[in-house]
Each structure stands twice: as C-alpha cells, then as structure tokens.
Chains A and B, each alone.
Chain A
C-alpha cells in the first residue's frame, strides 16, 4: 500500500471566523471533598504548618499525606510535622497562564517549582511557586522557605503559602508577592 493522499481540510483562522458554529460556555461547579488526609493537611496549612503521614512498614514520610500506602497497600500509621523549608528540585520561568494565554509584557513571570520538603522522605516534592527572587539567581538545589499569608487571610488551601523564597543569611524585607494569577 501507499499513503500519499490524505483527506481532511483545516480552516484558516479567517474561514473559521466565518463558519457557522454553536458554542457553549459551561457553568459548572464542583465541590471536591478532601478526605481525611488532605482535610488535615489543609487545616494544618491554615495554622502555618505542613503535615505528612508515615508508613511504618516502608518508612516513607509522605506529602501530600495519604491514609493508605500505595506500595505496602495498607493503612498509613501516623501524622508527622515536616518543615516549611526545602530545596528546589527543578523550576521553570513561565510567561503563560494556565490557559496558555500570555502574561503581559512588563509583568513578572510566574516561577513554578518542585520543592523537596525538609523532613519528608527523600525526593518528596510539592508543586509550588518561587518568589522574592530574580529568575537568574535560582539554582537547582537551592534552599528555600515558605512565605505564608498573614494568619487572618488563610483559608486552608495550598495557596496559604504565597510562594517559597530563597533562604538567605539575612533576608531583605518582604518584597512583592508572586505574579497575579487569573
């Protein structure tokens, strides 16, 4: 057989504008239950602490916490606080929002990172943001600490941590928050 001619036509953006089409902006709302492990995790975030769950069989100290160990396939055993410091496992300097729309020129980038949390098992990382740092000064392996929202503004969410900032000998005064998000 030979495949040299293939069907299907793509429309130019102009043709697409003119084409008849039906559209729908869904208005849906989901309320997601947290379960026991994440429920406690969120309560602790509200208090400015990060909590893990420990499996005494494989000795993993796990964040986010979970009520069962996926490897030992048994209930986890106990709660354990971990630190709100860690090190940068990897990071990126983003010029796009979640929907791929561009961050306007002149506004700072968003800097997502995987942060390995001190006190959790080796390699246990969280997705969060870096702030109060110039992108060119970030290094993989860099020590960072959580910058929390003021207590009265916390809602019991991962965003109660505004971002992680480098641990410096002497920290400069708290600077601008991370880039605004849509």
Chain B
C-alpha cells in the first residue's frame, strides 16, 4: 500500500481511580512522561502528537484537546485530538500510525486521557445528550438502557443466562488483581455478579465497568528509528475502523456488524486469514461483561453465539487457548474511556514483548489484537500488533 512500517516502542500509564487528585492535564503528563522515559526519549524528540479523549461533558471543559495540550506535550507541535466515543482509545494510536506510516514524521506520541469524576451526580448523566435531541431525549434515556436492550437481545438470540455472561466479569476482575493500574480488581463469584443490584435488568451493577479517571500513552516510531530505540519493537500490522448508523434502534443489536467490518479491514492489512487461529491474545472492549462476548464474535475470534461457552470452558482464561483481556479489561482495571482503549493496546504491546509480568500469557505470543467500541452502539476500532 506504499505505507511505512510503524512500531510501538514505549508506553506509560497511570493508576485508574475514582476521583483522581490530579487534574486532566496532570494525568496526561504522568502517562506521557512515563512513555518517554520508557524508551529513553525527551519531549523534543517527538515530532507530532495525537490525543484521544471522550466527551467534553465529562470534564465540563469545552475544547478538551486544547485543555490537555500542555499535559500531552503538545505545545508548539503538530497536535490533534480525535474522538469516536468509546472507540477513541484504539482510534488514537491508529491516528498516530497514520502520521508515521504516511512519512509525515518518524516519532509520534499518542496520549489518551479521561477524567469522569468531575461530573455530578454521576457521569452517566452526561450521556443524555448522545441520544437524538428530538426523538429520543424526551424519553429520558440513559446509556445503561441501551446496553440493557442490546444485552437482552443478545442473550435472547442465543438463549444465554445471566450466569453465562457473568463469568466474563469474574474472569476480568480477577485478572486485574495483577495489574498495577487496577481500580476494581477483586476475586468474585458468578453469584456475586448475578446477585448484585439490578440497574436495568438484565444489567446488574457488577456487569458494568466503573467510572474512572486515568491516562495512558504510547510512543510510535518509523522502522529505522524503532530499531535504533529498542530490540523489541512491536509492529502495528493492521488497523481498521468502521461506523454504523446513528439510528441505533433500526439495526439488529444482537451482532456488531461494524466491529466485523473494522476487524476485516485490519486483518486484510495484516494478512490474517483465520483470525480465530492466528490471533494469540486479544483485548476486546469490555465496558459491560456481555460486550466482551459480543466483540469476540464480531472480531471473528469464534463462531456467533459461542463466546459464552468458550468462556465457561476456560478457553479465554489467561492460560487458555485464546487469552481474552489478560489485563483485567475495563471491568477490572477500570474504564477511563479513551485511556482504557490505549491500556488495551499497551497490554498487547507488553504481552508480545514478554514483559507483562504476572499477567504474562504462556506460549510467547507473536500476534495480538486490541479493540475499542463506542458511540451509539456504532463504532468499532481495531489494531493488530505483531512482534
């Protein structure tokens, strides 16, 4: 395609917390500084910066890209914010990849930040305005409703019980015990999940990731620069993104076709023909437990309707055939929206380098995938990494 190879060469991340003492720019600075230090670079070495951050309404700060500029190291540099709702955290490194693959620069820093705790009484309230202002907002919907509607449709289609879905939350919250950034890591049982407070049946409180504050950053480099900086570059081999209609109630919610389209775009580019065999570790977006199953299917990592059974059989455990969310995911590490997607990219980066510590999956994986998802059940963003 005439594009240059791009590697991830460094990464940084903050702890994910409720009510961070730090401001948004301070969060961004912490992650960015750690990413630069991790590969021995200074800010002056970075030519361009891309920033991902989700709705301005969380922070109550308009022009959040500009607000975070200094913390993301962007002063007097070619700097740009991108935003596709919950899909932002994986789109941001895709955006950075464009900068380097195109030959525009050799070193690009990608920063993702979210501070949800500024919004009261609950950041969920900020989601009201994502619904159509005339035909939907007067019904006073919440985002939890459309997750519940989609989860119900998905469960009904395949005859799944709440327990089948809850196993994802149990697995991810447990995996997160080994993640230094984790906010809600815990050893729980399926009963704990299904007996937790009902928010909008079938959604219970522990089916959902928490509201979080946090930031993450990665450094992208062109081939010749990457080889100078590290012995273990991790290459971005495939990228894909896709958006479906904003009339979300007019498509069948049981299957995320737009995620499949994004995945196929990334697989084609990476030369992956049989994703369920070739992808060795994956971090699909799991803001709700059923979403991990939904996304495994959309990403063609298993047959439709099979993800719950595979989860029950331990196939997706850290030591299973296809480890899914070994980081602990949004359900365990926490969900500062844009930072979560980049956390997932960082997890695959570390897994492929064999540097994930206690979270390391066995078998020296060479190929991994991270995916994010968002907007009104609307966007899929996918990145395929190889070492």
Whether A associates with B in a native complex is: yes
Interface of A toward B, CB cutoff 8 Å: 1-13, 15-16, 19, 23-24, 26, 30, 32, 34, 38, 41-42, 62-64, 70, 89-101, 109, 112-114, 123-129, 135, 140, 157-159, 181-182
Contact assessment for A64 and B148 in the assembled complex, using a CB-CB cutoff below 8 Å: no
CB distance from A124 to the nearest CB of B (A): 5
CB distance from B311 to the nearest CB of A (A): 22
Instruction: Give complex CA distance A114, B125 in Å.
Output: 21
Contact residue among B156, B202, B203, B249 (Cβ-Cβ distance under 8 Å from A127):
B249
Give the chain A neighbours of B38 by CB distance below 8 A: 1
Specify the chain B residue showing the minimal Cβ separation from A66.
B247
A93 to B20, Cβ gap below 8 A?
A: no
* Complex partner residue of B141 from A89, A95, A98, A182, CB under 8 angstroms: A98
- Residue B253 is within 8 A (CB to CB) of chain A in the complex: yes
Judge whether B14 is part of the interface by a CB distance below 8 angstroms: yes
Q: Once the chains bind, are B128 and A98 in contact (CB under 8 Å)? A: yes
B11 CB-CB contact with A under 8 Å: yes
Interface membership of B276, Cβ < 8 A: no
On chain A, the residues within 8 Å of B149 by CB distance are 90-92, 112-114
User: Taking A94-B148, A123-B251, A124-B250 as contacts, is the C-beta distance between A99 and B122 under 8 angstroms?
Assistant: yes
Q: How far is the CB of A73 from chain B (nearest CB, A)?
A: 13
Tell me the residues in window 337-367 of chain B with beta carbons closer than 8 Å to chain A beta carbons.
Answer: 346, 350, 353, 355, 357
Identify whether the interface residues of A are mostly helix, strand, loop, or mixed.
loop
The answer to whether B144 and A94 touch across the interface, beta carbons within 8 angstroms, is yes
Q: B181 contacts the other chain (Cβ, under 8 Å)?
A: yes
Contacts of B180 in A (CB 8 A): 3-6
B167 to chain A, nearest CB (A): 21
C-alpha spacing A19/B19, complex, angstroms: 11
In the assembled complex, 9 residue pairs joining A and B whose CB atoms fall closer than 8 Å, in A order, are: A13-B19, A92-B202, A93-B200, A94-B201, A97-B142, A100-B122, A113-B149, A128-B139, A182-B140
CB-based contact B27/A26 at 8 Å: no
- Beyond A4-B180, A6-B181, whether A181 also contacts B140 by CB under 8 A is yes
Minimal Cβ-Cβ distance residue in A for B181: A6
Of A63, A91, A99, the contact of B142 (CB 8 Å cutoff): A99
| Shortest distance between the CB of B326 and any CB in chain A (Å) | 14
Least CB distance from A116 to B in Å reads 9
Given contacts A12-B19, A99-B122, 10 further A-B contacts (CB under 8 A): A1-B39, A3-B13, A8-B213, A11-B19, A11-B21, A16-B19, A92-B148, A99-B124, A124-B250, A127-B131
Measured in the bound complex, the distance between the Cα atoms of B22 and A9 in whole Å is: 7
B260 sits at the interface (CB 8 A): no
Knowing A11-B21, A100-B144 touch, does A158 contact B203 (C-beta < 8 A)?
no
CB distance A95 to B198 under 8 Å? yes
**Residues of the B chain whose Cβ atoms lie less than 8 Å from the Cβ of A109:** 201
Contact with A along B313-347 (1 / 0, CB 8 A): 00000000000000000000000000000000010
Query: In the bound complex, how far is the Cα of B353 from the Cα of A11, in angstroms?
Result: 34
Contacts of A70 in B (CB 8 A): 245
With A and B bound together, what is the CA distance between A40 and B174 in angstroms? 53
The smallest C-beta distance from A55 to any residue of chain B, in angstroms, reads 13
Interface residues of B in 121-140 (CB under 8 A from A): 121-122, 124-125, 128, 131-136, 138-140
Task: Indicate if the CB atoms of B21 and A90 lie closer than 8 Å.
Answer: no
B10 at the interface (CB under 8 A from A): yes
Q: Is the CB of A32 within 8 A of B134?
A: yes
Task: With a 10 A CB-CB cut-off, give which of B22, B149, B353 has the most chain A CB atoms.
Answer: B149
CA distance A164 to B135 in the complex (A): 16
A13 to B17, CA, bound (A): 12
Residue of A with least CB distance to B253: A90
Say yes or no: is B381 at the interface (Cβ < 8 Å to chain A). Answer: no
Q: How far is the CA of A63 from the CA of B135 in the complex (A)?
A: 10
Assuming the A-B contacts A10-B183, A123-B252, are A97 and B140 also in contact, with contact meaning beta carbons closer than 8 angstroms in the complex? yes
Interface membership of B152, Cβ < 8 A = yes
CB distance from A15 to the nearest CB of B (A): 8
Q: Give the CA-CA distance A99 to B34 in the complex, in Å.
A: 35
Chain A CB within 8 A of B70 CB: no
Given A6-B181, A10-B17, A98-B140: A93 and B201 within 8 A (CB)? yes
State the Cβ distance, A35 to closest chain B Cβ, in Å.
Answer: 9
